[in-house]
Every structure is written in C-alpha cells, then in structure tokens.
Structure 1
C-alpha cells in the first residue's frame, strides 16, 4: 500500500514555506551529549513565531486551498499550538479562521489565538467536545477543516524539519521525534528515510498517553491522566499517520513524567531555552533509554516552547529537590533565645544556603515550651545535604525531611 505522502511532497512543501516559516537553528549540544552518551544536536523549532513547529503544516494546508475555499474560511480545533499556527498564517493570507477551544483552555492561549485575528469559540470541557462543535460549525457554515495531524498537506509540511536537519548534518544516525497524533513523526520519517534509508526514526510518547505505541503494537492501552506533555496527550491517532509510522518508524519509547520534567529542566539550565513538555519529549527518550543511543549521532526536535512560566518554576524547584540540591527539613526545638540563630549559623558554616525559614510556636502538636522550625536550604549535592543534616542531629536537633514542593508552594 503506497504511503500518503512522498519525499517529493515534502520537498515541495519546503519550497512553499520558504521565507514564510523560520528555518530554525540545528545546533550541537555538547552538554546533552556528555550527559546521555550520544552525540546530540537539537532542532530549535520552539523559535517559530508562534513558538512551535505547527506553523509548517498549517501553512502548507492553507496554501493548498482554492480561492473559493479561502473565501469560505477555515476551522480548526486545538487548545494550543495548532490553534495559534492556523490563526497566525490564516491572518497573514487573509483567510477567515475560526478556532474551537475547550472552555478550560488557559486565557493566555485564548488571547494569543485571538491576537492573530482568529474567531475563538469556547466549547466543552475536553478536546473531544471541542472537536464535535468544530465539526458542527464546519457543516453549518461550510468552513474548510484544518486537521492538526491527519492530513497529507499537514504531514508534508511538518516533514520539512527533517530536510533541514539532514541538510545541516547528513551524518545523522537517528532522529528522535515526539508523537501525539503522528503528523510530525510521519512527515519527518518520509523525508528522512527518502533522503537516507539507513537512518533510524524513533518516536516518544508520554507513558500516560501511549496511543500510537498501542496502535503499532496492536495492543489495548489506556490513555488518561494529568500530563506535563499535554501537546502529545492524544487518545486517537490518525489513520494516515499510523500507516506511515507502522512502515517507517523503528520504535516508540514511552517516557515517564519525571523524565519529561527533567528534560524541560535540562533544556532550560543547560541549553538556555524553553521547552514545553511535548517539546522536551525527545530528550526524555534519551534519558529513559540511554543505552539505545550511546555512541550514535542523534537529532532531537525541540518542537515547542509554549509553557506556563509558573510551571517552569515548579519544575526547577522539583528538579533541585530530586538532585538533593534543595532540601526542606522540620526540626522540633526548645523555645529559647538563640536556637534559630544556632541552627542557621551551623547550616551556613557548612556552606549551606538558607532560602526559607518558618518558625511555629502555636501548633497543637508542639509542646507548650517548644517550637517547630521549618528550614529550606540549598546544597552542592545530596552528599553535602546529608552532611548538614548529620551535623544538626549531632548537635541534638532531630531532623525530619519534608516535601520541598509543598514548602515552596
């Protein structure tokens, strides 16, 4: 059975979007290479105007419309990157665009989509309900549907990323690509395999939403739960995309939420760039199974950077705690002058950096002549933190570890 798109289709898409979509940097990442054991380079598609790769496929689809279809207008369903991509390029081309978004969509995303000139309709609590409303409006008004992934024009547009990566580094052994509905990986796989049949294309999904993994393995899976990678939290993959993935993709790795959080933090702290959960999934795959990629020349796609700054802050704190570089402890102390100073002085003398102190005297579970002291402090590493805790206990202060995320909330 022939695949829905060809290398020539992707190459034609590259010609269509040239000058209208940013040719994003593809750069070596020595720090990530040292960490993972692979030779890693990163494609920074989070630098697109709307912050994600979705512009490529959306523009190719819009350019494929006839004059009559443009006049009718387009409709899309999305809670994020696809919505903004369609709105932005439809506005550039003078095409009326209606975007249906779930009612709980963050206000910042609604505002951004409206800012690109689209009409935003809020409907339902979920993407499934929003999609139903989008289909109804499409039938009622004759809008042209711009599917987020299961469309040949969208797929070939997304595949242009692989063309750019291989043009920069023809010696790549492997591409690691986030998988939601499959538009990105299917387009990239067709392009990459067409140019270099020996290259490996490996997908990555969050373990909470293994929809494509289940479809390819022909296994029943359960999709659901809160994920930091909402951009790839898809329950139903595309029919066209599934066909390509089954034919051309070597494997799909399932990443835990903790690995995706760590990948977001590494992009921020090591690469000095913002990655949303879906955008960081490729790096999460390397962290999940480093042996698979050791010694290989790997291209990662940082496909999106639209993440809530408050979420980034939370992730940074959680990663510091996981590494043992930020500790929160509770100490029951006698209520006498100088105890607080004694404890903080000891921590400082051992080169710990106190960042937060909370002194409680009125807790009912604290003796009337006692107090509870909660201290959060920075350390060089886990061993340094344990050295400080041991010193406190040696001075007669019983220490109980606490959850840093709760203390810093």
Structure 2
C-alpha cells in the first residue's frame, strides 16, 4: 500500500479496491443542502452526511477496510485488533472487528464522553481507560499489543485506513461532480489525506481545505513545509474532542502538505458551537463538534473573501456522536 504511483502514496486503485471491499457493508451517505445557508454565505454548499454513516461517523470506512484487508492477508494469524481513540475510531474498529469475528480492545481517555464508551462496548469490544494525553494513550495501547498479541490499527496514520476514508471522495464526486473545493476537519489527518488523494486523482483542479481547532497551528507548518509541533504530542483545548490531537500523523503530514491548500480554517469553540447550532436548528441534523467546525469554516469571512470561482463547496459532516447530556450550548445538568 505504500506505493507512490504518480506521487500519491494512496492511489486511486487503493481507494477503489477499498470501496469494493467495504461498500456493501456501509451506507452510501446522502448529500444535504440548505438554500438558507447558500443565500447567507454566497456560494453553493453541499453537506456530505457522514454523521449518518455506520457507527455515526466516517471512521467506519477506514476501520473496516483496514481490518478486512488484514484478515484477507493474514487470516488465522490475526488474534485480535486494538487501537487508542477519543471515541469515533474506537467505535468503528469495534464494529469492524465484530463484523470480521475478531476480538477487539479499545483504549480511551478517561474523559471520553460516556455515549462513545458505551457504544464501543455495545459493539462487543473491551475498553481500557487511560490518562487523557497522547503519551498515555500510546503507551497503554502498546501494552495491550504486547500482552494480547493484537494488531494495532491507528485512527489515521495508516494507508489502508486512508484508502477507506478516500471512498468519501469517490461518492461525493459522483453525487456532486461540479465540486470546486472540499472542507475537511483534521485530527491526525487520515480523512483529509484519503479524501485529498482520491479527489485530486479524479479531479486535479479541486481544492482541499483543512479545518482545525484553535491551537493546532497547522497553517504555519504547511507554509514552512515542516512539522513544527512540540514533542511529545499534545491535545488542544477544544470542545470538538474528535479533532483535539495537535499533530498530524507522520504519514499524513506529507500528503496534506503536498495536496491540501496552505490556507487552513482555524475555528474557536464559539464558532464550533455556531456551526453545530445551525445544523441542529436549521438542517435538523445531529452533528458533533468536529462537524460544527467545518460548518463554521463554511460560514467564515475567510472563505467569503476567497476566489469567487469556487462556487460549489463540499462540507464533510464527519460525525454525529454527541453526548446529549452535554450539548455545549446547554447549561450543565446537576447530578
């Protein structure tokens, strides 16, 4: 999978093979539109509703592709799989492992929303809690791999995971061939890498814009052409827990550097809430903070100032796994 045919580490063949492998087990997610949104923000927007995907997020695409391909290649030698996750990839891997008949253990930070932990357990996986920092996640996962001889499937920095996420772009460009740009939220960068690889091979002129939470500082890294983040990896302070990892993965960063635009949309908590509220109130769909960030980018003055020829803009609603007892604009409930 680490081929670089035509400069793309994830080729269009990789993505179409992933689609053949997983499509019958997943939803072909709809594209939503809002004339109110278009009128207010001056372009045609198309919202790819991955919040309606299996397990409530796009993550099931990459997890299922990685696990099924692993089983195809290694068969009875696969004892089980594991990962560390803020929630959505953990749910997706648990679901994919259950689908393939494999044991699964997911390491999650102690402050992960209960709704996500319960969902992971609901798909039959064991859950191990760790401290809420990237180092603890990685160390706890490594211990599980050593103890149980499980295979580690990362949430983003894995070419088979990226190929699975790239199937979003195949669908999206079938549904809306005239897309000029796609806005994609990034945590470690697996989704944006997969989408960028697939979309740029199908339509080289399309622009891929990354959306991040405040504190990630990705634009500076892209403009200087190198990873400038401190070690060890950190979380940023954001209500969008699905995109709180500060660093892009080491496989993802060069893909994003090569294929995505250098202009990055940075969103504050207040802007994320505004995006979420629009989806809840006007579009009647439940989305989580990472999706709210992408809607906030679509609302932004920065996008409005960009080239008017970018008429048709895709927006990836990446997930809808919300803890309804802790929606960010509601008062905290008393115990």
Write the deviation string for residues 98-157 of structure 1: whole angstroms up to 9, x where unpaired. Answer: 111122323332221111000111122334302211012212322111010000000010
SS in 2 for 1:50: helix
Are residue 271 (structure 1) and residue 283 (structure 2) matched? yes
Report the equivalent of 1:229: 240
Normalised by the size of structure 2, how large is the TM-score?
A: 0.89
Report the equivalent of 2:295: 283
* Aligned counterpart in structure 2 of residue 137 of structure 1, from 141, 144, 150: 144
Normalised by the size of structure 1, how large is the TM-score?
A: 0.73
Report the equivalent of 1:183: 190
Report the equivalent of 1:216: 222
Range with greater deviation from structure 2 (103-112 or 184-193) = 103-112
* Aligned counterpart in structure 2 of residue 59 of structure 1, from 57, 64, 71: 64
1:4-403 superposed matches below 5 A: 4-65=9-70, 66-70=74-78, 72-210=79-217, 212-218=218-224, 220=228, 224-251=235-262, 252-288=264-300, 289=302, 290-292=304-306, 294=308, 296-312=311-327, 314-315=328-329
Range with greater deviation from structure 2 (184-193 or 95-104) = 95-104
Q: Which runs of 5+ in 2 are unaligned?
A: none
Contact 1:57/1:157 (<8 A) preserved: yes
Contact 2:279/2:285 (<8 A) preserved: yes
CA distance in structure 1 between the partners assigned to 2:56 and 2:77 by the alignment: 27
Contact 1:55/1:82 (<8 A) preserved: yes
CA distance in structure 2 between the partners assigned to 1:257 and 1:167 by the alignment: 33
Cα shift at 1:214? 4.1
Cα shift at 1:68? 3.0
Aligned residues: 316
Q: Which runs of 5+ in 1 are unaligned?
A: 318-404
CA distance in structure 1 between the partners assigned to 2:265 and 2:20 by the alignment: 32
Q: 1:293 to 1:164 in 2, by over 3 A?
A: farther
SS in 2 for 1:279: helix
CA RMSD of aligned residues (A): 2.0
Cα shift at 1:221? 5.5
Higher relative CO (CA 8 A, sep ≥ 6), structure 1 or 2?
Answer: 2
Contact 1:17/1:56 (<8 A) preserved: yes
CA distance in structure 2 between the partners assigned to 1:238 and 1:296 by the alignment: 31
Greater Rg, structure 1 or structure 2?
A: 1
